[in-house]
Structure 1
């Protein structure tokens, strides 16, 4: 059982503080209830799943990368495992502005403590550095994006919702994603 392990099956565990708001915390708890997982474990699983997606890594960097000379490439190796490669083409010691986004401009009144394996913590650090964000901000951005994406929501429900008592359906209305709980 994957969710009973403290560090999601890893040998070493890194805990990371993440600040979010009540709206996203409620979304996470609803989805966790549907998947029959603790909500902090589900939050860690969402962040790790999206960090292992090359298309997501590319999309995030295309949107938030303000340092044009530092880029992360996510590729599959021979064992179908994701590896990150950094590409540095010039000096990056200059100061750059931090990116602005709807995922970063929100009241941060809730703190979540998520756990990752060292491998995912390193990927999170590299991606955060390429986008000129802190690790906690990048983790919050990834979690919010995952909770607003129908494919991610359905993936976790199909994988972990064994009894199908509760099913969360994402509904898009006026640019906001709300959840409808189906019996």
Structure 2
């Protein structure tokens, strides 16, 4: 291995065969970032669109570099699909439950759930997806994660139906595990 290959691997630069995949990934990140920016903008102007495209391009490059730096295998499964359906429902339910919480005694809980243990790439990806799903609702935020035991500590203001935390923990437990050597 020459010095150019080692530099290429260190910076996550693709070889000749990986250029198309790298460009496709950058385009997807860039398009997603631009669309998200424009969807949240109050008015659509040419300058707003240009700024969105520029910021999304920088974000796409950083997202690719970060994805290459983290040992992560994001292979969506059936559990992830269930979580994506439950997150909006849980967000609305939590928002409605927070209204009385604001005027009340404001109890809070630190809750621990068990997700995929181990530091393998598949488990890291599953745990990351679970943390994103859990933190996407207004009533819960993940404050700590211990990869070796799979314990996730959440600060929960409200809880109840549809029990997203239990669904994420159940989906993480039922996911097929791969050994760390694979």
Would you tell me which structure has more strand in proportion to its own residues? Answer: 1
Higher RCO (C-alpha under 8 Å, 6+ residues apart): 1
TM-score normalised by L of structure 1: 0.25
Q: Max radius of gyration: which structure? A: 2
Would you tell me which structure has more helix in proportion to its own residues? Answer: 2
TM-score normalised by L of structure 2: 0.25
